[in-house]
């Protein structure tokens, strides 16, 4: 798992594009997590930026869709928005030393909520 962080969404996006460009060998499977309202635009942007015709080998999904895929579609609601924020906060806390740009603010109140939004 690679966690891409940046001070800007464009910087994070370019980081993801760079990593995906290196992994386009046809055998690797990549999952890009994006806010639910941006998944379609992120997918279109990746197709354009990588110069590919389809996203085989790349799945763009939200946290909720990823959880549904991992746990199964038989659940009605996996996580509430509050539960999602708590989970993001836990991941941030557990990986704080790996963050490049947000180490100082990662544990501030509201940071996980901003990432979820």
For residues 13 and 50, membership in a common domain is answered with yes
For residues 63 and 89, membership in a common domain is answered with no
Going by C-alpha positions, the residue among 59, 69, 115 that lies closest to residue 90 is 115
For residues 16 and 43, membership in a common domain is answered with yes
- The pLDDT confidence band at residue 6, using thresholds 50, 70 and 90, is confident
pLDDT digits (tens, 9 = 90+) for 31-85: 888 888 888 888 898 888 888 887 788 889 888 788 778 777 665 566 788 888 8
For residues 56 and 85, membership in a common domain is answered with no
For residues 69 and 109, membership in a common domain is answered with no
For residues 10 and 32, membership in a common domain is answered with yes
Q: Is the CA virtual torsion 77, 81, 86, 89 positive or negative?
A: positive
The answer to whether residues 53 and 47 touch, using CB atoms and an 8 Å cutoff, is yes
Going by C-alpha positions, the residue among 35, 54, 43, 56 that lies closest to residue 17 is 43
If you count them, how many residues does the chain have? Answer: 117
Range of the domain at 109: 79-117
Number of structural domains found in the chain: 2
For residues 57 and 15, membership in a common domain is answered with yes
For residues 3 and 60, membership in a common domain is answered with yes
For residues 68 and 111, membership in a common domain is answered with no
For residues 36 and 72, membership in a common domain is answered with yes
User: Is the overall model pTM greater than 0.75, yes or no?
Assistant: no
Which neighbouring-strand residues pair with 31?
59
């Amino acid at each position: 798992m690679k966690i891409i962080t940046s001070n800007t969404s464009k910087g994070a996006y370019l980081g993801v594009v760079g990593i995906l460009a290196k992994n386009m060998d046809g055998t690797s499977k990549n999952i890009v997590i994006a806010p639910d309202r941006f998944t379609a635009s992120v997918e279109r942007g990746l197709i354009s930026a990588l110069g590919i015709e389809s996203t085989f080998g790349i799945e763009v999904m939200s946290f909720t869709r990823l959880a549904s895929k991992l746990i199964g579609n038989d659940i009605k609601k996996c996580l509430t928005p509050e539960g999602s924020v708590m989970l993001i906060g836990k991941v941030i806390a557990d990986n704080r030393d790996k963050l490049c740009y947000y180490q100082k603010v990662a544990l501030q109140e509201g940071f996980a909520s901003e990432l979820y939004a």
